[in-house]
Chain A
Amino acid sequence: MASLVTKNTTLLIKLIKNVTNNSKRLSSHFIYYPDNEVPVEGETAKMNMMQAINNAMDITLKNDPTAVLFGEDVGFGGVFRCSLGLQEKYGKDRVFNTPLCEQGIAGFGIGLATAGATAIAEIQFADYIFPAFDQIVNEAAKARYRSGGQFACGALTVRSPCSAVGHGALYHSQSPEAFFAHAPGLRVVVPRGPITAKGLLLSCIREPDPCIFLEPKILYRSANEEVPVGDYTLPLGKAQVLREGDAATLIAWGTQVHVLLEVADMAKEKLGVMCDVIDLQSILPWDEETVCNSVKKTGRCVISHEAPLTSGFGAEIAATVQEQCFLHLEAPVSRVCGWDAPFPHVFEPLYLPDKWRCYQALLDTLHY
């Protein structure tokens, strides 16, 4: 239940504009590392993450006549422009606004999927997904299990902008993945840029399980890549190793992947060591194998996420790593996370687990 003030369009438009300016304001937060390798052959086009997501939904609406896209303000293109032009192209009965009610949006989406339609629901900010928590956790996640496989709502994908944006404060910055990671039956996915966003979103939409697709909103415009224009998917439940090394394993998802890529560069430059950098991509179910294989090789592990430390998803990874890789570990598993406080406004540069905090954690781990 977003307050009227935060839903005010004028403010939102300002916010969107500011996202574009973020590289200036948050030059210390992260540098974007574009993907240079494309997952499929064929024609590519330069797209930012917003355009790549729009493209994935365009492909879905074109090929799947049951598919509908709905949420607050998606009709005119969405406050982040992700559904731009889709209503004109596919009609008001396929791309439409709902009343301002997140539990309604999630429940409505579950119903669509139950009756055989492909449902792509948008929650305007991940911070406002909590009114839909009951529908997502008690209903969507458990529908297949409780009916003995008779009914399912796997055709539901809930998309939502998440994570820090420079000045989003308490309710435009949250990373709620860990709340959902505790709900068997859900898939939780976070992309790190345009190429992964398109491929993972298309997988989520087609996957026969309900998916929560969290889109780091700071990347909507700032991340640009050569994205394949054709149809392609990326596997869910699989992490991706972006850099290879033997000194330590660095694990993150979303925007934080770029922070750790920079940390890996700093380590290479300043310390002359190479690190594995892993983008987890899928939070639930997650790729234990890739992570543990890497840690068995490096013996050291640093996990970083924007969400608060306590019970953050890093805790799950750390516990699994110590269980699976106990004899290989040369240092305690390190977690560099948001502090255990609500996400603040003016203190954001001090709150985020930036490259300096991550670098220091890596140093401590290497010198343990």
Chain B
Amino acid sequence: MALRTGACVLRYNALRTTARSLFTRTQPESTQNNVKPAEFPGAKAPYVTEMKFLNETSYDPIPIYRVMDNNGAVFESKEEPSIEKDTLIHMYKIMIQLSQMDKILYESQRQGRISFYMTNYGEEGIHVGSAAALSPEDLVFAQYREVGVFLYRGVTVTDIVNQCYGNVEDLGKGRQMPVHYGNKQHNLVTISSPLATQMPQAVGAAYALKRQENNDRCVICYFGDGAASEGDAFSALNFAATLDCPIIFLCRNNGYAISTPTSEQYRGDGIASRGPALGIRTVRVDGTDLLAVYNAVKESREFAVKNNKPVLIEAMSYRVGHHSTSDDSTAYRSIEEIQKWTNDESPIPKFKMYLESKGLWDAELEKSWAKESRDTVLRTMQVAEKKKLPHWKEMLEDVYYEMPSRIQKQMQEMENHLKKYSDKYPLNKFQSD
């Protein structure tokens, strides 16, 4: 019976294809009244004799792909990804670890122990869902609110905390503000503050990967809905399309760029609508649904690597936390709105209920892992805090591959100065020779 139904569907599909191809072939003549199609080099399009302007309402909004509902129940079983049990548990643990780390580091900034911090509340599902769907060899270009990707790749809480303290163990040698992580070993390109600059860079990197022999790597580039307004964002999408680059653009549309709501950021159908306009395969997903993000990235990765083409994913979410520790978001949005997204539409409880329904997680595990996550961060912070800052000479290293004589002179000048004024500087905090 099932077989026969299957054959029927096949036959029907074949018919439909034939019908469609017939239709498309005959369409130009019928709509153009036998007028030759336009020969402008800039666009392949038929002529019409009725003037019709298009606007943002000319098309239906791009729908939001979901796999599970707010209670973690899967809508269509065929859409449920087959992820190994251990991986599913690991994914959830990373989300909890991330939110615990956010909580403690946010508080520690409030106490003045670190200078700055940015939390990831509400977007943990995007990080972990996308990271799990990638190969560890894929090159990641991030904006700054993607720490879950770093944790999933194997960057430790210790690495993160060391960077925030800028201590001697920080791979970045204490030069950048907190949350500007980077890790060559795990293919995570160092984050910088200027928004969207990583986007055309990610495209160039994807082009370089494409040219490598037997390439099976791609690039993923994360950015926010605000950064998408930068010129670099447009240049990146257009370059990726015209130069055929294996790259996944993942936009975290969380509704706000600091205080600016999306209604003041754009007037079109979000970021996703820009993809097809530039010839890029595009999908919009529920960013609070980890499984939907996972599916979209998995499929995009296969497509990008196989065809050397870009893909755009717009993951809809809500920035539950403040923009950063320098921001009080209640100045521009209601507490009710924040509450709604914290309680009803949060990626962590959704995924937890999914795991519970599969018998992979329970309240007891939740309690013990939350505690362990918290303890890990606190323990790490205690160690990190006691570590010295890098040697002051690191201030002038790595500007160039080799230090030019002018910088050598400046280092000597500073050294002489410090000899004379050593009591005027916090030199005991820094590593010494």
Could you list which residues of chain A lie within 8 angstroms of chain B, going by C-beta atoms?
Answer: 66, 68, 93, 96, 98-99, 101, 103-104, 106-117, 119, 131, 134-135, 138-139, 142-152, 154, 184-185, 187, 207-209, 237, 285-286, 288-289
* A150 partner, pick from B182, B234, B243, beta carbons under 8 A: B182
Contact A146 B200 (CB under 8 A): no
Cα A113 to Cα B401 in complex, Å, equals 14
Q: B384-426, CB under 8 A of A: which get 1 and which 0?
A: 0000000000000111110011110000000000000000000
Assuming the A-B contacts A104-B232, A114-B205, are A144 and B399 also in contact, with contact meaning beta carbons closer than 8 angstroms in the complex?
A: yes
Chain A's nearest CB lies how many Å from the CB of B243?
A: 7
Q: Taking CB as reference atom, which chain A residue is nearest B139?
A: A115
Contact B205 A146 (CB under 8 A): no
Q: Given A68-B211, A115-B208, A131-B231, list of 12 further CB < 8 A pairs?
A: A93-B211, A99-B239, A101-B238, A104-B235, A109-B204, A111-B200, A117-B208, A143-B190, A145-B175, A151-B184, A152-B401, A154-B401
Chain A's nearest CB lies how many Å from the CB of B100?
A: 27
Which residues of chain B from 189 to 210 have any CB-CB distance to chain A below 8 Å in the complex?
Answer: 189-190, 192, 194, 197, 199-209
Contact sample, A vs B, 26 pairs, CB 8 Å cutoff: A68-B207, A99-B239, A101-B238, A101-B239, A103-B200, A104-B200, A104-B203, A104-B236, A104-B239, A107-B204, A107-B235, A112-B204, A115-B139, A135-B201, A139-B194, A144-B401, A146-B182, A146-B190, A147-B171, A148-B172, A150-B182, A151-B184, A152-B401, A184-B399, A185-B399, A207-B401
Give chain A residues whose Cβ lies under 8 Å from the Cβ of B27. Answer: none
Give chain B residues whose Cβ lies under 8 Å from the Cβ of A237. Answer: 404
Assuming the A-B contacts A110-B201, A115-B204, A237-B404, are A146 and B399 also in contact, with contact meaning beta carbons closer than 8 angstroms in the complex?
A: no
Q: Taking CB as reference atom, which chain A residue is nearest B199?
A: A107
Q: B224-242, CB under 8 A of A: which get 1 and which 0?
A: 0000000110111011001
Cα A150 to Cα B163 in complex, Å, equals 14
Contact A138 B207 (CB under 8 A): no
Cα A207 to Cα B404 in complex, Å, equals 13
Cα A147 to Cα B206 in complex, Å, equals 20
Q: Does B298 contact A (CB under 8 A)?
A: no
Give chain A residues whose Cβ lies under 8 Å from the Cβ of B203. Answer: 104, 107-108, 111
Give chain A residues whose Cβ lies under 8 Å from the Cβ of B236. Answer: 104, 107
Q: Taking CB as reference atom, which chain B residue is nearest A116?
A: B208
Q: Does B183 contact A (CB under 8 A)?
A: yes
Q: Does B173 contact A (CB under 8 A)?
A: yes
Cα A99 to Cα B242 in complex, Å, equals 8
Can you list the 5 inter-chain pairs with the closest CB atoms, starting with the nearest? A111-B204, A107-B200, A104-B235, A111-B201, A147-B190
Cα A148 to Cα B234 in complex, Å, equals 30
Contact A289 B201 (CB under 8 A): no
Q: Does B124 contact A (CB under 8 A)?
A: no
Number of interface residues of B (CB under 8 A): 48
Cα A96 to Cα B219 in complex, Å, equals 21
Cα A146 to Cα B191 in complex, Å, equals 9
Contact B205 A112 (CB under 8 A): yes
Contact B197 A134 (CB under 8 A): yes
Assuming the A-B contacts A107-B197, A139-B197, A146-B175, are A66 and B205 also in contact, with contact meaning beta carbons closer than 8 angstroms in the complex?
A: no
Assuming the A-B contacts A103-B200, A111-B202, A112-B204, are A149 and B243 also in contact, with contact meaning beta carbons closer than 8 angstroms in the complex?
A: no
Chain B's nearest CB lies how many Å from the CB of A237?
A: 6
Assuming the A-B contacts A96-B243, A116-B208, A146-B180, are A288 and B405 also in contact, with contact meaning beta carbons closer than 8 angstroms in the complex?
A: yes
Give chain B residues whose Cβ lies under 8 Å from the Cβ of A113. Answer: 204
Cα A56 to Cα B243 in complex, Å, equals 25
Give chain B residues whose Cβ lies under 8 Å from the Cβ of A135. Answer: 197, 200-201, 232
Q: Does B286 contact A (CB under 8 A)?
A: no
Chain B's nearest CB lies how many Å from the CB of A207?
A: 8
Which residues of chain B from 289 to 327 have any CB-CB distance to chain A below 8 Å in the complex?
Answer: none
Which residues of chain B from 10 to 24 have any CB-CB distance to chain A below 8 Å in the complex?
Answer: none
* B206 partner, pick from A68, A111, A187, beta carbons under 8 A: A111
Cα A134 to Cα B180 in complex, Å, equals 18
Q: Does B146 contact A (CB under 8 A)?
A: no
Cα A152 to Cα B201 in complex, Å, equals 12
Q: Taking CB as reference atom, which chain A residue is nearest B185?
A: A150
Q: Does B170 contact A (CB under 8 A)?
A: yes
Cα A114 to Cα B206 in complex, Å, equals 10
Contact B232 A103 (CB under 8 A): yes
Give chain A residues whose Cβ lies under 8 Å from the Cβ of B238. Answer: 99, 101, 104
Give chain A residues whose Cβ lies under 8 Å from the Cβ of B173. Answer: 148-149
Assuming the A-B contacts A96-B243, A99-B238, A107-B236, are A151 and B175 also in contact, with contact meaning beta carbons closer than 8 angstroms in the complex?
A: no
Chain B's nearest CB lies how many Å from the CB of A156?
A: 9
Q: Taking CB as reference atom, which chain B residue is nearest A208?
A: B401
* A114 partner, pick from B180, B201, B400, beta carbons under 8 A: B201
Which residues of chain B from 101 to 142 have any CB-CB distance to chain A below 8 Å in the complex?
Answer: 139, 141
Q: Taking CB as reference atom, which chain A residue is nearest B184?
A: A150
Contact B239 A98 (CB under 8 A): yes
Give chain A residues whose Cβ lies under 8 Å from the Cβ of B401. Answer: 144, 152, 154, 207-209
Contact A98 B243 (CB under 8 A): yes
Cα A107 to Cα B235 in complex, Å, equals 9
Question: Which of B173, B203, B398 has the most CB atoms of chain A within a 10 A radius of its CB?
Answer: B398
Assuming the A-B contacts A104-B236, A139-B192, A144-B398, are A112 and B171 also in contact, with contact meaning beta carbons closer than 8 angstroms in the complex?
A: no
Contact B189 A151 (CB under 8 A): yes
Give chain B residues whose Cβ lies under 8 Å from the Cβ of A187. Answer: 400
Cα A187 to Cα B400 in complex, Å, equals 9
Q: Taking CB as reference atom, which chain A residue is nearest B177?
A: A146
Give chain B residues whose Cβ lies under 8 Å from the Cβ of A142. Answer: 192
Contact A150 B406 (CB under 8 A): no
Cα A103 to Cα B238 in complex, Å, equals 12
Give chain B residues whose Cβ lies under 8 Å from the Cβ of A138. Answer: 192, 194, 197
Give chain B residues whose Cβ lies under 8 Å from the Cβ of A108. Answer: 200-201, 203-204, 207, 239, 243
Question: Which of B175, B232, B397, B405 has the most CB atoms of chain A within a 10 A radius of its CB?
Answer: B232
Chain A's nearest CB lies how many Å from the CB of B317?
A: 26
Cα A184 to Cα B406 in complex, Å, equals 11
Q: Does B265 contact A (CB under 8 A)?
A: no
Contact B205 A115 (CB under 8 A): yes
Give chain A residues whose Cβ lies under 8 Å from the Cβ of B232. Answer: 103-104, 107, 134-135
Q: Does B158 contact A (CB under 8 A)?
A: no
Assuming the A-B contacts A104-B200, A104-B235, are A134 and B404 also in contact, with contact meaning beta carbons closer than 8 angstroms in the complex?
A: no
Chain A's nearest CB lies how many Å from the CB of B297?
A: 20
Assuming the A-B contacts A99-B239, A107-B197, A147-B182, are A289 and B208 also in contact, with contact meaning beta carbons closer than 8 angstroms in the complex?
A: no
Q: Does B176 contact A (CB under 8 A)?
A: yes
Contact B194 A134 (CB under 8 A): yes
Q: Taking CB as reference atom, which chain A residue is nearest B403?
A: A285
Which residues of chain B from 150 to 189 have any CB-CB distance to chain A below 8 Å in the complex?
Answer: 170-173, 175-176, 180, 182-184, 189
Q: Taking CB as reference atom, which chain B residue is nearest A102?
A: B235
Give chain A residues whose Cβ lies under 8 Å from the Cβ of B242. Answer: 98-99
Give chain A residues whose Cβ lies under 8 Å from the Cβ of B170. Answer: 148
Give chain B residues whose Cβ lies under 8 Å from the Cβ of A119. Answer: 204
Contact A114 B189 (CB under 8 A): yes
